[in-house]
Amino acid sequence: MQLDAIQPNRAAAAAREHEAEHLMTRYQQADGAAATALVDLLSPQLYRFFASQLGSRANAEDMLQEVWLRIHRARHTYRPGEPVLPWVYAIAHHVRVDDYRKRKRISSHEFGTDELPEPPAEHDQTSDLPPFDELVAALPESQREVLVMLKVNGLSIEEIARATASTPGAVKQKAHRAYERLRNLLTRTPAKRSEARGVAQ
């Protein structure tokens, strides 16, 4: 698989952004149909964003529900006329970080008990995810997040910087490192690639 194959169509991304802005403005005005249309429009890419981070369908679905709850509560903070995707992904970023911290606390608590937790069924969770999601699983979390926003969800460097409270330079650096690591993985044999994923976990 070539990296260019996962490059989003910029024209399609721009059209989706324009439609999302229109729907979000109507959503703020208590238009229920617009709220439903916005959920239908953005949920697939938000789900892919969460699933690519964790490789777990159950966790991705939980976080998708949580992000829409937070969007609903914070909808008054969106400023009409501004790009809506960075605003949405800033909320999604916080949901992902909060989920990670929550799982880390639970994991620490479980290992503190006398009974050891059962190993996660990783193959069951990731078996139905696309190969790209399996590939990016080998990346560090921050690089994975940037690459999914950039290559899968079609956000620009500046939009990602806004969503993650970072700088364009820092985003470019993470993306560059992610590309380099993926290129190295793509040039190895499947056996070595699997071995590299095992070492990274």
Model confidence over 135-179: pLDDT tens digits? 677 778 888 888 888 877 778 888 888 888 888 888 888 888 888
Confidence of residue 131 (pLDDT cuts 50, 70, 90): low
In 3D space, the residue among 168, 199, 142 whose CA is nearest the CA of residue 86 turns out to be 168
**Chain centroid, CA 54 distance in Å:** 9
The predicted structure's pLDDT at residue 178 = 83
Q: In percent, how much of the chain has pLDDT > 90?
A: 27
How far apart are the C-alpha atoms of 78 and 61, rounded to whole Å?
A: 24
Tell me if the pTM is above 0.75: no
Of the chain, the percentage scoring pLDDT greater than 70 comes to: 69
Q: Which CATH class is domain 3-200?
A: mainly alpha
Alpha helix (H) ranges present in the chain? 10-28, 32-54, 57-74, 84-111, 122-126, 131-136, 141-147, 157-163, 168-186, 190-200
Q: Report which listed range, 7-16, 18-27, 185-194, is most confident.
A: 18-27
